[in-house]
Structure 1
Amino acid sequence: MQSMSKIKFDLLSLIESIDKIQNYSQEFLNADDFYNDQKSFDASMMQLVVIGETITRLDESFKKTHQHIPWQKIKDFRNIIAHDYFGIDADEIWDIIQNKLIPLRSEIQILVDKM
């Protein structure tokens, strides 16, 4: 079992990655513009991989205790990015960035605040 300080460190790392993605994508108005800026898109994709890797390191009992967060779904998405990078749908990535990352960040921040 991981120590609470290690779990907190990993959760803070997740928040940091989400913040980086938000920073990299904030100037774009749509998926096409974002996708066509290779640096921003690739940097964001890397942070999505980092998020998936960090979740893989989290203690299973911790994840089971906090099942309201879709840990497995996020980890599976990391695998799609890592193994089918050229098949990634920019619109799907844009939707995740615009609609799913901020709520995820909020949920993780709540967990951190409780520690």
Structure 2
Amino acid sequence: MASLDRAAFEQNRLVYDATERCLSRISEASVKLGSFAEEHLPAHNWRGMRDLGNILRHDYDGISKTIVWSIVKDRLPPLLADIKQMLSRYPDDQEVL
């Protein structure tokens, strides 16, 4: 992703579809984490993550490539950093990310 600009991202069907699939999995994980996620990482929009999964699964025409790009570039990096920081407190309970 780092090598793609927005236009290339939106035009590369394979990358875009794979990104949607990964976002769907993140959404499902946020559902399974429930209140744990909100309690331990409150700075992130967990409701929005859950809602995104419903949009990706059911409202195909409602998906904005601009929003997907923004999520990938602006929202995921801080989420990943916070998750890694939280998991670093439990080194014996994790696999390599």
Asked if Structure 1 and Structure 2 have the same fold, meaning a TM-score greater than 0.5 normalized by the shorter chain, the answer is yes
Shift in CA distance, 59/114, structure 1 to aligned 2, threshold 3 Å: farther
34, 38, 59: which one aligns with 2:13: 38
Displacement over 3 Å in runs of 4+: none
Select the structure with the greater relative contact order (CA < 8 A; seq sep ≥ 6). Answer: 1
* Number of matched pairs: 89
CA contact (8 A) 1:52 1:77 kept: yes
Report the CA distance between 1:82 and its aligned residue.
1.4
Quote the residue 1:28 is aligned against. Answer: 4
Report the CA distance between 1:59 and its aligned residue.
4.7
Quote the residue 1:108 is aligned against. Answer: 83
CA contact (8 A) 2:24 2:53 kept: yes
The runs of 5 or more residues in structure 1 that have no matched partner are 1-24
Aligned-CA RMSD value: 1.6
Seq. identity, %: 27
Quote the residue 2:39 is aligned against. Answer: 65
The runs of 5 or more residues in structure 2 that have no matched partner are 91-97
Distance, in Å, in 1 between the alignment partners of 2:11 and 2:60 is 15
